[in-house]
Chains A and B, each alone.
Chain A
Amino acid sequence: MKSKKAFMFIITTLIIISLISLLIINIRTIPDNSKLAQNLNENYITEFLILNENPNLNIQNMDNFNNSFVNFIKSHNYNTKMCNIVQNKDNSMIISNYLDKDCNLFIDNDFNRTISNNSTIKIDNFINKMPIYLCNCTYINKDIYYIETYNYNNQIINKNMR
């Protein structure tokens, strides 16, 4: 009787171990879709940094850049929210809002204006060291990007804010 019990115990252990092993193998083979979202974000960041080196950066090419990335990411069945704040060579600031909502812009803690969704503005003669706040983007002496790529089961956020 005792040996039958022991035998049953070993068989049960074997079955449980086999099931756990199968589960581990399955987890390893399921494709990780979050990698695609991460790739899309990294593509955006690399191109954003290259664009910032352009001495002829203006509202139009920043707006086109963000617009085309929104569509590029959508073509991969993901949605995206993004904003960026860039200081231009002529001391102007280029600020984009693609956060899927209108956002209030604060400069040095004072309300400046509301930037509507999917638009880019330029502020001339910007005084350095003044912080800028626009929803998820906070500028303090450094060009800023925020990108959130998501679908029904994945969400990847990349930002270069402090």
Chain B
Amino acid sequence: MTKSLELVIAIIILFSFLFIVVDIYEKPDKSLEINNTVKDLLKLKSQDTEFRELIEDGNTTIIYNNLYTLINSSFTIKICDYIDDNCIIKQELNTINKKAIDYYFADSNKTLSIIFWVE
């Protein structure tokens, strides 16, 4: 009787453990999702001549509106000359939890940063 009770408890523990492991692994990593979508989008946009011209002109409002419908998260953008000079920021973020993806446009020597705030 004692032995079968121990066996039942051991099986319950084992299944609980397996359930937790599978659940953790199957849960999509949200930050990774944002990263890949935006990365693909940047790759696509970088090949668009009109978009590159907007970057060269540093027109943050039009670029933001251009990306707004395509990015399903709260974000802002920053365009800098080369690495971090003369940056034009669409909207300053006061939150500490922010995460950025940079893309460097070699011909215009400008960097576009897409900044997300993480809740």
Contact = CB atoms under 8 A, between A and B. Distances in A.
B40 to A, nearest CB: 10
A47 interface: yes
Interface in A36-53: 39, 42-43, 46-47, 50-51
B18 to A, nearest CB: 10
Contacts of A46: 43, 46-47
Interface residues of A, number: 28
A112 to B, nearest CB: 28
User: Interface residues of A: mostly helix, strand, loop or mixed?
Assistant: helix
A106 interface: no
Contacts of A50: 46-47, 106-107
Contacts of B111: 72
Interface stretch (B6-14, B65-73, B86-94): B6-14
A91 B50 CA distance: 30
Contacts of A9: 6
A19 to B, nearest CB: 11
Nearest to A13: B13
Contact of B107 (A13, A42, A51): A51
Interface residues of B, number: 29
B21 A21 contact: yes
A3 interface: yes
A3 B24 contact: no
Interface stretch (A63-71, A117-125, A140-148): A63-71
Interface in A1-60: 2-3, 6, 9-10, 13-14, 17, 20-21, 24-25, 28, 35, 39, 42-43, 46-47, 50-51
Interface of B: 2, 6, 9-10, 13, 16-17, 20-21, 24-25, 29, 35, 39, 43, 46-47, 82-84, 101-107, 109, 111
Interface of A: 2-3, 6, 9-10, 13-14, 17, 20-21, 24-25, 28, 35, 39, 42-43, 46-47, 50-51, 65, 68-69, 71-72, 75-76
